[in-house]
Amino acid sequence: MTAAIAVRGLTKRFSGRAVVDGVDLTVGEGRIMGFLGPNGSGKTTTIRMLCGLLTVDAGEGTCLGLDIRREAAAIKRQAGYMTQRFSLYEDMTVAENLDFVARVHGIPGRRARVDEAVARLGLGDRRGQLAGSLSGGWKQRLALAAAILHRPRLLLLDEPTAGVDPKARREFWDRIHGFAAEGMTVLVSTHYMDEAERCHAIAYIAYGRLLTHGTVAEVVAATGLAAAVVTGGGEPRLIARLKALPGVETATAMGADAHVAGGDAAALAAALDGLARETGAAWRPEAPNLEDAFIHLMAQSRDNFAAGEA
Amino acid sequence: MLSLARLAAMIFKEFVQIRRDRPTFGMIVGIPLLQLLLFGFAINSDPKHLPTGVLDADHGPVGRAVVAAMRASGYFEVVADFVSEAEVEDALATGKTQFVVTVPADFSRRVLRGERPQLLVEADATDPAAAANALSALEKLADGAAARALAGPSASLRRAAAPFDLVVHRRYNPEGETAFNIVPGLMGVVLTMTMVIMTCLAVTRERERGTMESLLALPLRPVEVMLGKIVPYILIGYVQVLFILVAAKFLFAVPMQGSLILLSAATIVFITANLAVGFTFSTIAANQLQAVQMGFFFFLPSIMLSGFMFPFRGMPVWAQTVGECLPLTHFLRIVRGILLKGSGGAEILADLLAIAAFLAVAGAVALRRYRVTLD
- A83 to B220: CB separation less than 8 angstroms, yes or no: no
Complete edge-to-edge strand list for the sheet that includes strand A154-158: A79-82, A154-158, A185-189, A32-36, A201-206, A209-214
> What is the distance between the alpha carbons of residues B172 and B99, in angstroms, rounded to a whole number?
12
* Domain range enclosing B246: 178-369
CB atoms within 10 A of CB A182: 10
Per-residue DSSP letter, A128: T
Are B160 and B189 in the same domain?
Answer: no
Name the β-bridge partners of A205: A210
Whether residue B241 sits in one domain with residue B343: yes
From B220's Cα to the closest Cα of chain A, the distance in A is: 7
| Cα within 13 Å of Cα(B91), Cβ side | 23
Domain total for chain B? Answer: 2
Per-residue pLDDT at A1 exceeds 60: no
Spell out the residues 6+ positions from residue B270 whose beta carbon is closer than 8 angstroms to its own. Answer: B188, B191, B327, B330, B331, B334, B355
Q: What is the CATH number for B69?
A: 3.40.1710.10
Domain end, chosen from B155, B171, B187, is at B171
Do the first three CATH levels of A3-214 and A222-309 match, i.e. the same topology? no
The answer to whether A187 touches A147, Cβ cutoff 8 Å, is no
Asked if B217 lies within 8 A of A76 by C-beta distance, the reply is yes
pLDDT of A38 strictly over 90: no
**Judgement on whether residues B238 and B259 belong to the same structural domain of the protein:** yes
Percentage of chain B lying above the pLDDT 70 cut: 95
* A16: pLDDT strictly greater than 50: yes
Q: Please determine, for residue A173, whether its predicted confidence score (pLDDT) is greater than 80.
A: yes
The verdict on A51 touching B (C-beta cutoff 8 Å) is yes
- Which one has a higher pLDDT value, A131 or B147? A131
Residue B6 within a domain: no
CA distance A211 to chain B (A): 25
B160-198 in b/e form (b: 16+ CB < 10 A) is: eebbbebebebbbbeeebeebbbbbbbbbbebbbbbbbb
- Quick one: average pLDDT of B304-311? 89
Interchain proximity B211–A53, CB inside 8 Å: no
Domain positions in chain A: 3-214, 222-309
Q: What is the DSSP track for B202-247? A: HHHHHHHHTHHHHHHHS---HHHHHHHHHHHHHHHHHHHHHHHHHH
- pLDDT of B166: 87
User: Are A92 and A103 a contacting pair, CB within 8 Å?
Assistant: no
Asked if pLDDT for residue B266 goes beyond 90, the answer is yes
Strands A3-14 and A17-28: antiparallel
A44 touching B (Cβ < 8 Å): no
Q: In DSSP terms, which residues pair with B55 in a beta bridge?
A: B82, B102
Nearest to B368 by CA among B222, B229, B228: B222
In this structure, the answer to whether residues B150 and B119 fall within a common structural domain is yes
pLDDT (mean) for B68-88: 90
Gap from B216 CA to chain A (nearest CA, Å): 7
Confidence category of residue A307, pLDDT binned at 50, 70, 90: low
Mean pLDDT along residues A167-180? 93
pLDDT over 80 (residue A190)? yes
Instruction: Tell me the torsion sign for CA atoms A90, A92, A93, A96.
Output: negative
List, in sequence order, the alpha helices (H) in A211-258.
Answer: 216-223, 238-244
B157 shares its domain with B182: no
Question: A75-79, A184-188, A302-306, B242-246: which has the minimum mean pLDDT?
Answer: A302-306
Mean pLDDT, chain A, as a whole number?
Answer: 90
Residue B3 inside a domain? The answer is no
> What is the predicted pLDDT for the residue at A310?
44
Q: Does domain A3-214 have CATH number 3.40.50.300?
A: yes
What amino acid is encoded at B135 in this protein? L
- Residue A302 pLDDT > 60: yes
B108 with B208, same domain: the answer is no
- The answer on pLDDT for A129 being more than 90 is yes
Which among B209, B210, B218 has CB closest to A104?
B218
Instruction: Please report the beta strands in A153-256, taking only residues with DSSP state E, as ranges in sequence order.
Output: 154-158, 185-189, 201-206, 209-214, 226-231, 250-254
Contacting A with CB below 8 Å, chain B residues are 209-214, 216-221, 372-375
Which of B210, B219, B220 is the closest to A87 by Cβ? B210
Would you state the pLDDT for residue B23? 78
| Interface predicted TM-score of the whole assembly (ipTM), two decimals | 0.83
Segments in B306-372 forming alpha helices (H): 317-325, 327-336, 345-369
> Which residue among B171, B203, B229 closes a domain?
B171
Check whether B14 has a pLDDT greater than 60. Answer: yes
Residue B307: strand, helix, or coil: coil
Quick one: B263 and B333 in the same domain? yes
Question: Using an 8 Å Cβ cutoff, are B22 and B70 in contact?
Answer: no
B113 and B217, same structural domain?
Answer: no
B121 in the same domain as B188: no
Q: Give me chain B's average pLDDT, please.
A: 88
Suggest the residue from B201, B206, B208, B211 to mutate for an interface test with chain A (most A CBs closer than 10 A).
Answer: B211
pLDDT tens per residue across span A40-84: 889 999 999 999 899 999 999 999 999 999 999 999 999 999 999
**Residue A47: closest C-alpha in chain B:** B217
pLDDT at residue A182 above 80? yes
Fold of A222-309: Alpha-Beta Plaits (3.30.70)
Give the model's confidence band at B375: pLDDT under 50 very low, under 70 low, under 90 confident, else very high: confident
Distance from CA of A291 to the nearest CA of B (A): 31
Cβ–Cβ of B217/A77 closer than 8 Å?
Answer: no
Report how far residue B269's alpha carbon sits from residue B263's, in angstroms, rounded to the nearest whole number.
10
Indicate the residue of A73, A87, A89 with minimum beta-carbon distance to B219.
Answer: A73
Does B38 fall in a domain? no
Per-residue pLDDT band for B24 (boundaries 50, 70, 90) equals confident
| Interval A236-262: pLDDT, tens | 788 888 888 888 988 988 888 899 999
Same domain, B166 and B183: no
The residue out of B104, B136, B171 marking a domain boundary is: B171
Residue B243 lies in a domain: yes
Tell me: pLDDT of A183 over 60: yes
The distance from CA A301 to its chain's CA centroid, rounded to whole angstroms, is: 18
Of the pLDDT bands very low, low, confident and very high (cuts 50, 70, 90), residue B151 is low
Question: Which among B103, B229, B99 is positioned nearest to B171, based on CA atoms?
Answer: B99
Contact B214 A104 (CB under 8 A): no
Please check whether residues B218 and B309 belong to one and the same domain. Answer: yes
* CA atoms within 13 Å, Cβ hemisphere of B57: 14
- Residue B37 placed within a domain: no
**CB atoms near residue B107 (< 10 Å):** 25
The closest CB to that of A53, out of B209, B211, B216, belongs to B216
The per-residue DSSP string of A10-77 comes to EEEEETTEEEEEEEEEEEETT-EEEEE--TTSSHHHHHHHHTTSS--SEEEEEETTEETTT-HHHHHH
Domain membership of residue B306 (yes or no) is yes
User: How far, in Å, CA of A281 to CA of A276, rounded?
Assistant: 5
The verdict on B118 and B234 lying in the same domain is no
